[in-house]
Amino acid sequence: MEKTNMIETAEQHLLHTYNRYPIVLTRGEGVYLYDAEGKKYLDFAAGIAVQSLGYANQELNEAIKNQVDLLTHTSNLFYNEPIARAAQRAVHAAGLERVFFTNSGTEAIEGAIKAAKKYAYTRDGHSGHEIVAMEHSFHGRSMGALSVTGNAHYQEPFAPLLPGVRFARFNDLDSVKELLTEKTCAILLETVQGEGGIYPAEHTFLEGVRRLCDEKDILLILDEIQCGMGRTGKMFAWQHYGVKPDIMTCAKAIGCGVPVGAFFLTERVAKKSLSPGDHGTTYGGNPLVGAAVDKVFEIFEREDIPGHAAEMGRYLEQKLQELSGDFACVLERRGLGLMQGLVLDVPVGEVVNRCLAEGLIVITAGGNVLRMVPPLVIGREHVDEMIRKLRHVLAQF
């Protein structure tokens, strides 16, 4: 099918919930994508922080293909070997004792919310508990996840949402303290805010939130859907801070393209929260995604993908800092590891469009942030290529 026809067919039949770029991608290899016309793109978006192992990783592909020939789905009424192996690897990497596999990040958030509320219900013997979340956060678009997303623009058309959610200011501990009540059961935040503009948590803030939770038997829920899985140079971003969550959500790179998410719990929380009948999913943790997750964690550990991301993150930071000093339109660089953002005072959407014309894929975050979340397997040569292309684009402004 010719490119124009493909786009017209999609627009005719798909629900229009995305403003897509007029590009039809057909294949990927390493850190590059190719469109229907054969144009090559250096990918510094990784499917929004999903394709951490890049494209066409043969070891991962073979694991998925082999499982397709064995068994793809059975339901959670039975055990299956791939998800047992995946769970063992996952909890070991996370340093948390229990995991529930979902189909997406937003479902992981839904599960985390339910686990926190059930924990408080078990403790107090009543419902009606509240959650403190953060302004400018993003946790998903289902009704529960939307309720804890601190952006009125996303929320307003769908009100009323889940009651009992209060929003504090990210990196402002006093604003969190002001919102705590006897009803508070959890504090929920992204360790590094992604959609909100690439804001890492400050050490004193995260440490302070952990202390508050310990003092008041409140659960700390860390959303690592985008910033986890090696993205910041540690397997999970909270490991930079030495602040362990009670519940953690994960998705995106945990399957490197296979749709899967997860929420992790400490043993203490697991014993006092969700029990048989409280939560479930038809597809979550089926053999197909189990084979993918198992292989992803195996590769991450064997190849030390987080260590490589840390090294490349330092190099990317250095090059972005140098670039920032050369262009007045770049107001600030911020981020952690291979999750970086440039704050611009020119239209960021136009910058993205011109980068596409140069064969470079980058995306936006917040209102004026150019976001870079490349595959974690990039090399210095890819950083240098990205900087050359971005320099050429920024010079046009």
216 assigned to some structural domain: yes
Closest CA to 189 of 120, 181, 202: 202
pTM of the model: 0.97
Going by C-alpha positions, the residue among 197, 200, 198, 193 that lies closest to residue 225 is: 193
Collapse the DSSP code of 55 into the 3-class scheme (helix H, G, I; strand E, B; otherwise coil) and give the result. Answer: strand
- Judge if 288 and 311 occupy the same domain: no
Q: Are residues 231 and 291 in the same domain?
A: yes
Place of tokens 């949402």: 161
Q: Within 10 A of 302 (CB to CB), how many other CB atoms are there? A: 9
Domain with 387, as residue range(s), is: 3-57+305-394
Residue 160 preceded by cis peptide, ω within 30: yes
Catalogue the E-assigned strands of 46-201.
98-102, 130-134, 165-168, 184-190, 192-193, 199-200
Mark whether 181 and 120 lie in a shared domain. Answer: yes
Number of domains in the chain: 2
* Contacts of 395 by beta carbon, 8 Å cutoff, 6+ apart: 327
Q: How confident is the model at residue 382 (pLDDT cuts 50, 70, 90)?
A: very high
Q: β-strands 130-134, 184-190: how paired?
A: parallel
Mean pLDDT of the chain: 97
* Residue 393 to residue 354: CA distance in whole angstroms: 6
Residue 213 belongs to a domain = yes
**Confidence check: pLDDT of 359 > 80:** yes
The stretch 263-284 carries a mean pLDDT of: 97
Residues 6+ apart with CB under 8 A from 186: 113, 116, 117, 120, 131, 132, 218, 219, 220, 221, 247
Q: Tell me the pLDDT band of 301, cut-offs 50, 70 and 90.
A: very high
Band of the pLDDT at 315, cuts 50, 70, 90? very high
What's the pLDDT band for 242 if we cut at 50, 70, 90?
Answer: very high
271 shares its domain with 151:
yes
Q: Which of 249, 277, 302 is the last residue of a domain?
A: 302
Q: Are 369 and 341 in contact (CB under 8 A)?
A: yes
CA-CA distances (angstroms) from residue 129 to 108, 132, 278? 19, 10, 17
123 & 260 share domain: yes
User: Which of 302, 323, 354 finishes a domain?
Assistant: 302
Whether 123 maps to a domain, the answer reads yes
Domain boundary (302, 333, 360) is at 302
Q: Is the pLDDT of residue 1 over 80?
A: no
Residue 332: which CATH number? 3.90.1150.10
Q: Name residues whose C-beta falls within 8 Å of residue 235's C-beta, 6 or more positions apart in sequence.
A: 93, 94, 228, 229, 300, 306
Give yes or no: residues 287 and 345 share one domain. Answer: no
> What's residue 286's pLDDT?
97
User: Angle formed by the axes of helices 287-302 and 58-70, to 10°?
Assistant: 150
Whether residues 83 and 40 fall in one domain: no
Burial (0-12, 13-18, 19+ Cβ within 10 Å), 13: exposed
Taking only the tens place, the pLDDT of each residue in 192-222 is 999 999 999 999 999 999 999 999 999 999 9
Q: Rounded mean pLDDT of 150-164?
A: 95
Cβ-proximal residues to 286 (8 Å cutoff; 6+ apart), any chain: 72, 73, 74, 75, 80, 83
pLDDT tens sequence across 95-110: 999 999 999 999 999 9
Residue 93: pLDDT above 90? yes
Evaluate if residue 35 carries a pLDDT over 80.
yes
Q: Are 346 and 327 in contact (CB under 8 A)?
A: no
Q: What percent of the chain stands above pLDDT 90?
A: 98
What pLDDT, on a 0 to 100 scale, did the predictor assign at position 367?
87
168 CB-near residues (< 8 Å, 6+ apart)? 132, 133, 134, 135, 175, 176, 178, 179
In angstroms, the CA 252 to CA 80 distance is 22
31 within a domain of the structure (yes/no): yes
* Nearest CA-CA partner of 377 in 10, 39, 132, 44: 44
Residue 63 inside a domain? The answer is no
Query: How far apart, in whole angstroms, are the C-alpha atoms of residue 361 and residue 34?
Result: 11
| CATH number of the domain bearing residue 249 | 3.40.640.10
**Rounded to whole angstroms, how far apart are CA atoms 88 and 212?**
31
- Condensed to tens digits (0 to 9), the pLDDT of residues 227-241 reads 999 999 999 999 999
Instruction: Tokens for 220, please give them.
Output: 């700390």
Question: What Å distances lie between residue 265 and 90, 249, 268, CA to CA?
Answer: 12, 9, 8
Is 194 found in the same domain as 78? yes
Residue 65 lies in a domain: no
Pairing of strands 165-168, 130-134: parallel
Token couple for 74: 């059975």
Q: Please, what is the end-to-end C-alpha distance for the chain in angstroms? A: 37
* Same domain for 220 and 171: yes
Residues 338 and 358 in one domain: yes
Q: Are the C-beta atoms of residues 333 and 277 closer than 8 Å to each other?
A: no
Residue 8 lies in a domain: yes
**230 with 103, same domain?**
yes
Tokens matching residue 300: 């991450």
Query: Is the domain of 174 the same as that of 37?
Result: no
Evaluate whether residue 64 is within a structural domain. no
How confident is the model over 118-130, as a mean pLDDT? Answer: 97
Which letter, b or e, does each residue of 164-187 get, where b requires 16 or more Cβ atoms within 10 Å of its Cβ? bbbbbbbbebebbeebbeeebbbb
